[in-house]
Amino acid sequence: MQISMTVNGSEFTSEIEPRVLLVHYIREVLGLTGTHWGCDTSNCGTCVVLMDGQPVKSCTVLAAMAAGHDIRTVEGLATGGTLDPVQQGFMEEHGLQCGFCTPGMMLTARALLDKNPHPDDAEIRQAISGQICRCTGYATIVRSVQWAAAHPAGTGWDGADTAVPDVAPETADTDAEVKA
Amino acid sequence: MQIPASFDYVRASSVDNALELLARYGPESRVVAGGHSLLPMMKLRLARPEWLIDINDLYELDFILRDGNKLRVGALTRHTTLLESDEVAALFPIVRDAERVIADPTVRNRGTIGGSLCQADPAEDLSTVCDVLDAEAVIRGPGGERAVAMSGFHRGPYETAVGQDELLCELRFPIRPRAGSAYEKVERRVGDWATGAAGAAVTLAADGTVEDATVGLTALGLDRTVAEAAAVLRGKRPAEDLFTEAGRLAAAACDPVPDQRGPVDYKRHLADELTRRVLRRACARAAQMAARMQEG
Amino acid sequence: MTVIHDRPSNPAPGDEDRPIGYGRIQRKEDPRFVRGKGHYLDDIVLPGMLHGAILRAPVAHARLVSIDTTNALAHPKVVAVITGKDLLGLKLAWAPTLSADVQAVLVTDKVRFQGQEVAFVVAEDRYAARDALELIEVEYDILPPLVDARKALDPDAPVIRDEIEGRTDNRIFDWEIGDKAETDAVFASADVVVSQEVVYPRVHPAPMETCGAVADFDAVNGKLTLYETTQAPHAHRTLFAIVAGIPEHKIRIVSPDIGGGFGNKVGIYPGYILAVVGSIVSGRPVKWVEDRSENLMSTSFARDYIMQGEIAATKDGKILALRTHVLADHGAFNATAQPTKNPAGFFSIFTGSYDLQAAHCSVTGVYTNKAPGGVAYACSFRVTEAVYLVERMVDVLARKLNMDPAELRLKNFIRPEQFPYANKTGWVYDSGNYAAALRLSMELAGYEDLRREQAEKRERGELMGIGVAFFTEVVGAGPRKHFDIVGLGMADGAELRVHPTGKAVVRISVQSQGQGHETTFAQIVAEELGIPPEDIDVVHGDTDQTPFGLGTYGSRSTPVSGGAVALVARKVREKAKLIAGAMLETRPEDLEWEKGRWFVKGDPGAGKTIAEIAMGAHGTVALPEGVDGNLDAEVTYDPPNLTFPFGAYICVVDVDPGTGQVKVRRFIAVDDCGTRINPMIIEGQVHGGLTDGVGMALMEIIEFDEAGNCLAGSFMDYLIPTAMEVPDWETGFTVTPSPHHPIGAKGIGESATVGSPPAIVNAVVDALAPLGVTHMDMPCTPARVWAAMQGRARPPI
């Protein structure tokens, strides 16, 4: 069957089998491999994308069902060369380690901040509670989203890996760590 | 990742069109709304429909509407919409209690009340909610529209009164004065299916005695409301010893099966414990509503 | 944008607590990850690539009667169907495991666990490959399964490995260490002896990315390029050479970005081998990626130890001795990934952090009809089980003696002046200051206030628990004379090239699965050479590009490869000194190093920076005798000892008395990993491990029913904590450098996974103390906690 949908602002039309899952359509037909998958049963949330601005598990939406809708993936978070504040926040506050759940986490964070620009920590935890991270223990993800909330315009940094931006001085208690 | 077997897909453009499609494709067709129960089953190849009829475009079924002394909720209303509706929470606080603990926020963005009820999983929370609120299901089919009380809606695990060629369109909840309701679920982790849950709805008479009460259990092997537990309260002022007795009766009435979530004795204990909790909270909420009515 | 070049980073004398290598800097790998530009295994698409899928056994124990692949082969998109019979012909039906056993690649004779590999379909796309699995018809003759390890040695137990000639039972090994007679003598004369069975149930690492491989065999030049989700690319290369008979120089293993490992990606799974066979057979690249249920049901599980613990003490709380017997369930094949001489891993460090007179431990490993594995999930080669046992036992003793558990620990710690400390089971602990760490943890927790709050709550019938746990890790395997895996010594190589313009590339043998190697190792070079981290690229994960080494697991990257990288940078620095001497026309011994440059002693103005020296080395400077014209070096670091990180954890829980639900309210973690490099990364490692602890203590378990069906084959039943089950972690640190490590670092990757489960379980048991509960086994699910409250606590298996 033929489907058309908008992904990251561009319109795509493709011929697909009706059973093609949205996650496979995004990854394999469109080649946008920033969206990952991690389970068979809609539990892990690794595959979260935004559908009409709302986080959905793209393993549990058929590409056919997404036809006519507006999809946003991690590749659509940065605008031009500028990272979304959420992306910057994840780098500033170590909201990622292996990076596998990160795209889904960031998209949910973006949707949350669009709806609620100043969430408290409990609201952030609630928002990401359908998504599993095996690396971070979540606290740094919460901090990352709070960083983005506190810097709605980001810093304009392009995130290129040729330079490491300045961070808080080592002596600052940014990690809430305490030394004997 | 696991992948569904092949099927054909068609998107319905209206309720009438959906009914036509159901009639045309027959027993091997299935309606898909949020898809968060059906698609996982299809991926595991436990469900293999030949046709999927997508009703997500039926915006006419996505509404929350107060209509006299009833609240009408369209079957395509998403869990998130129900959770976030202040009107629903004010009238039926049990809905927000339950919606908070149904799956997870991302699933709730897609899943619908109609889909949950039609899936009729024994661990499904909204079935209990609709039971204790004495809701009515509005079903449309080739023969027109019919309203079915919840007691007649459930036909057992994964079975409902909705025929193969029919569509659940709406739920209607009676609005009662001096009413309160509550839901509590024990789960191993956020997003897990219930180990056990209980819901209660209570209406107080003007004198503060219990006019009516309903208790329902989720995932505890009872596909009816616990009439005997509710009977304990009727005509009496809410009191701790009555909650205790109701809990005891709920535990006696239920018939849970052991699984990884817990053995029978624990689940029976939950029927008792959670029945007491939800009755306590429902009565308190009913009293609050009664007080507000008096003030207002 | 400010760049951090000028930040001081060398710790001054007396300032060992300061992190090295520019400290907390952002990770160099993050810009690609936050843009969705990571490159994971399933992102790899090669021209003409086919897709593989594995048919798995639906039962736990059965004779294979027949396989009919006719219908599958008739599928228009199916290219090949491979069965065990085909592999027998290729001599690939059985592959060696990492523990001197063999494992079936595809079933030839009988199925030995549910989910075992039966046939492999290669098809044009992944949907077709899946569809074709349903077209294979298999007939099984069901056999009685052996599910309960406690029954494995019963005379009437079914013999699982009956294909091994002469085998008549399910015993894999008996292993012991420590002086039994001495230990028994101490026990015989002790005032107090407490004993407790402690079960560490079977759990699973379950990284978010499942395992997979893309095999690309080039028949023309005989070269196999194998992209794999592997934590140990070099070891895999050697093993593939042995298994598949492909010459080792014709094998290139590439480990791309890995979506979490936790020990799940150490072993060589049948799927990897099948992808290779598929590529050889089809002449095209073949991708195989397992789904989540395959991952949970067939790849390396963790733990599954039934431990009988006993502790002897004086009546005033001096711990004298420990002894234990362990029944270890290894599943159907002994495929544990651990050093050869350590069949129970490093479990023998169960003496923990305490100064004992004697200790003895014996372990019996058995086969059951369950998936193989056992060493995984950030366990530091079974230190998790050891620490859990001793920390649970110490709490049981504290209760018996009616002593505060923190006080009892403080009374028995190995004292700072006792290091290096030789314990009773053969380990030499490098350094430690345990009491300082526990005291800091208690201070951060407000321990006295918590105990007061608990007393008040108990008056009201509320169940609040405070759990204390202290752990000593043993990581960084290890010295070659003691540690090897299938004969490969556990040393690591590193190569460093400083390019003419002073930018550097360091090639390491270990592979990151999220730990931030690209940042940490650049920081080590930065520390040693004064080149800023952003000017250093770290190359890893490709065996054609990197020196040999054993891989990332057992928290060994910083202790071993970190040592290699520091030493290779020092080697470059020494070479730079010779070249600087030539450039400055002075004797090298008259030069002095300051960060980033050599200068003439007494004349700081006369010096050459590393960049200037690099240009000189590659340029026209007349080089001293014996110095090559580059600024490169390579080393292989054979660590003189293991490292022994430690930590003090305190957990506060509230238990719902009506439902048994446990809420972790607070968790305070004080860790000491020696010299710290990037505190942000260290903290992240700790947070992740603490979350593992919540998972294991409260919800994670792989259970089986009586028929051997795996009851945790999906994320619906294998539960992993979400953001809702974990608190906002409170962390602190002390710094006790390792005396033998080049930069004093000890490793941090698995500390929190090791240390947190006993803290949480101790807290739950402490909460239930008013009900007379002295022990319960993990996971503390609501139902199991409630059973414990009724006095009906049962082990999970």
Q: What is the DSSP string of B130-162?
A: HHHTT-EEEEEETTEEEEEEHHHHB-STT-BS-
> SS3 string of C558-617?
HHHHHHHHHHHHHHHHHHHHHHHHHHHCCCHHHEEEECCEEEECCEEEEEEEHHHHHHHH
DSSP conformation class of C16 = T
Tens-digit pLDDT profile for residues C358-399: 999 999 999 999 999 999 999 999 999 999 999 999 999 999
Please report the pLDDT score of residue A171 as a whole number.
Answer: 37
- Which chain C residue shows the shortest CA-CA distance from A32? C36
pLDDT at A155 over 80: no
Residue with tokens 């549990």: A60
- Could you give the CA distance from residue B21 to residue B141 in angstroms, rounded to a whole number? 11
Chain B nearest C-alpha distance from A160 (Å):
31
Q: Does a cis peptide bond (omega within 30 degrees of 0) precede residue C779?
A: yes
The dotted CATH code for A85-165 is: 1.10.150.120
pLDDT class of A172 with cuts at 50, 70, 90 = very low
Which residue type, as a one-letter code, is found at position A115? Answer: K
Say yes or no for a CB contact (<8 Å) between B35 and A61: yes
Containing C166, the helix (H) or strand (E) segment is none
Q: Subunits with at least 3 CB pairs below 8 A relative to chain C?
A: A, B
In this prediction, residues C624-640 reach a mean pLDDT of 96
- Tell me whether residues C699 and B188 touch, CB distance under 8 A: yes
User: Phi/psi class of residue C218: alpha, beta or left (left: φ > 0; alpha: ψ in -120 to 50)?
Assistant: beta
| The two structure tokens encoding residue C360 | 């003895």
pTM: 0.96
B6, B243, B266: best mutation site toward chain C, by most C Cβ within 10 Å?
B266
Backbone torsion region of residue C772, taken as left when φ is above 0, otherwise alpha when ψ lies between -120 and 50, otherwise beta: left
Give the closest residue to A133 by CA, choosing from A37, A72, A27, A45. Answer: A45
CB contact under 8 A, A40 and B4: no
Q: Is A178 a residue whose pLDDT tops 70?
A: no
Q: Which residues numbered 112-171 in B keep a CB inside 8 Å of some CB on C?
A: none
CA distance C321 to C344: 20
> ω into residue C420 within 30 of 0, thus cis?
yes
- pLDDT tens digits along C457-481: 999 999 999 999 999 999 999 899 9
Contacts of B4 in chain A (CB under 8 A): 19
Nearest alpha-carbon partner for C631 in C622, C647, C619? C619
Residue C233 pLDDT greater than 70, yes or no: yes
CB contact, 8 Å: C711 with chain B?
A: yes
Three-state DSSP at C790 gives coil
Work out the minimum CA distance from B192 to partner chain C, whole angstroms: 7
A157 pLDDT tier (thresholds 50, 70, 90): low
Q: What is the DSSP letter of A28?
A: I
Q: How far apart are alpha carbons C541 and C510 in whole angstroms?
A: 7
Residues 284-323 of C with CB under 8 A from A: 291-293
In whole angstroms, give the CA distance from residue B273 to residue B248.
Answer: 9
CB contact under 8 A, B40 and A41: yes
The predicted structure's pLDDT at residue C251: 98
Q: Give yes or no for C657 touching A (CB within 8 A).
A: no
In sequence order, which ranges of C124-213 are alpha helices (DSSP H)?
126-133, 180-189
Interface touch B105/A42, C-beta < 8 Å:
no
Task: Provide the pLDDT for residue A158.
Answer: 54
Scanning B214-243 for CB atoms below 8 A from C yields none
Q: Which domains does chain B have, with CATH numbers?
A: 8-53 (3.30.43.10), 60-174 (3.30.465.10), 179-295 (3.30.390.50)
**Angle of CA points C553, C554, C558, to nearest 5°:** 80
Structure tokens at C612: 């200037």
CB contact under 8 A, A33 and C687: no
* A130 to B43: CB separation less than 8 angstroms, yes or no: no
Residue C730's alpha-carbon distances to B55, C91, C445, C652, in angstroms, are: 48, 54, 9, 12
Give dist(CA C624, CA C578) in Å, integer: 7
Residues linked to residue C199 through DSSP beta bridges, in sequence order: C306
pLDDT at C154 over 50: yes
Query: What is the tens place of the pLDDT at every residue in C483-509?
Result: 999 899 999 999 999 999 999 999 999
List CB contacts (< 8 A) between B101 and chain C. none
Q: Which residue of A has its CA nearest to B57?
A: A65
Is B260 within 8 Å of C711 when comparing Cβ atoms?
yes
From residue C182, alpha-carbon distances to C359, C522, C709 in Å are 8, 49, 44
Percent of chain C with pLDDT over 90: 96
The token pair that represents C314 in the structure block: 């004086």
- Any chains having at least 3 CB pairs less than 8 A from chain B are A, C
Of C1, C33, C691, the CB nearest to A157: C1
C719, C724, C782 ranked by CB distance to B186: nearest = C782
A143: nearest CA partner in chain C = C728
Q: Above 50 in pLDDT, residue A137?
A: yes
Residues of B in contact with A55 (CB under 8 A): 105-106, 109
Which residues have C-beta within 8 Å of that of residue C514, sequence separation ≥ 6? Answer: A96, A97, A98, A99, A100, A135, C258, C259, C260, C261
Which residues, including other chains, have CB under 8 Å from residue C565's CB and lie 6 or more apart? C494, C496, C506, C508, C521, C524, C525
Q: What is the pLDDT of residues C92-105, one digit of tens each?
A: 999 999 999 999 99
Chain A, chain B: beta-carbon pairs less than 8 Å apart: 87
The C-alpha of B296 sits at a distance from chain C's nearest C-alpha, in angstroms, of 37
B260 closest CB neighbour out of C659, C660, C717: C717
- C516 vs A: CB within 8 A: yes
Sheet containing strand C137-142, edge to edge, reads C110-111, C62-68, C137-142
Partnered with residue C138 across adjacent β-strands are C67
Residue C422 class from Cβ within 10 Å (0-12 exposed, 13-18 middle, 19+ buried)? exposed
Please tell me the predicted confidence (pLDDT) of residue A170: 39
Kindly give the interhelix angle for A139-150 and A102-115, rounded to the nearest 10 degrees: 40
Per-residue confidence band for C15, with pLDDT thresholds at 50, 70 and 90: low
Q: Which residues from A are below 8 Å from C42, CB to CB? A: 27, 33, 36-37
Give me B80's structure tokens.
């998130």
Residue C14 predicted with pLDDT over 90: no
User: Taking the domains of chain A in order of start, what are their residue ranges?
Assistant: 2-76, 85-165
Query: Is any Cβ of chain C less than 8 angstroms from the Cβ of B268?
Result: no
Per-residue confidence (pLDDT) for residue C17, from 0 to 100: 74
Q: What is the DSSP letter of B280?
A: H
CA dist., res. C686 & res. C755, Å (int)? 10
Write out chain B residues lying below 8 Å of A129, CB-based: 104-105, 190-191
- Residue at C84: amino acid letter: G
CA distance B103 to B115: 13
Q: Tokens for C568?
A: 């290779």
Residue A113: predicted pLDDT: 98
* C-beta neighbour count of B85 within 10 angstroms: 19
Q: Does A18 touch chain B (CB under 8 A)?
A: yes
Asked if the domains at A2-76 and A85-165 fall in one CATH topology, the answer is no
Name the residue among A18, A56, A127 with its Cβ closest to that of B9. A18
* Fold (topology level) of A2-76: Ubiquitin-like (UB roll) (3.10.20)
The answer for A 54-113 residues in CB contact with B (under 8 A) is 54-57, 59-62, 64-65, 67, 108
Confidence of residue C720 (pLDDT cuts 50, 70, 90): very high
Kindly give the parts of chain B with pLDDT less than 50: none
Q: Residue C485 — left, alpha, or beta (φ > 0 → left; ψ -120 to 50 → alpha)?
A: beta
A175 falls in which pLDDT band (50, 70, 90)?
Answer: very low
**Pick from C454, C445, C394, C409: nearest CA to C761:** C394
**How much is the pLDDT for C7?**
33
Integer Cα distance of C330 and C347 in angstroms: 15
Nearest partner of C576 among C555, C599, C560, C604, judged by Cα: C599
The pLDDT tens digits of the residues spanning C534-563 come to: 999 999 999 999 999 999 999 999 999 999
d(Cα B243, Cα A14) in Å, to the nearest integer?
A: 60
Contact indicator for B256, B271 with CB cutoff of 8 Å:
yes
Q: Measured over all CA atoms, what is the biggest interatomic distance in chain C, rounded to whole angstroms?
A: 86
Q: Which two tokens stand for residue C561?
A: 């490869």
Short-list C364, C361, C372, C348, CA closest to C305: C364
Give pLDDT tens digits for C129-140.
999 999 999 999
Cβ C734–A180 below 8 Å, yes or no? Answer: yes
With CB atoms and an 8 Å threshold, state whether A142 touches C728. Answer: yes
Residue of A nearest to B192 (CA): A43
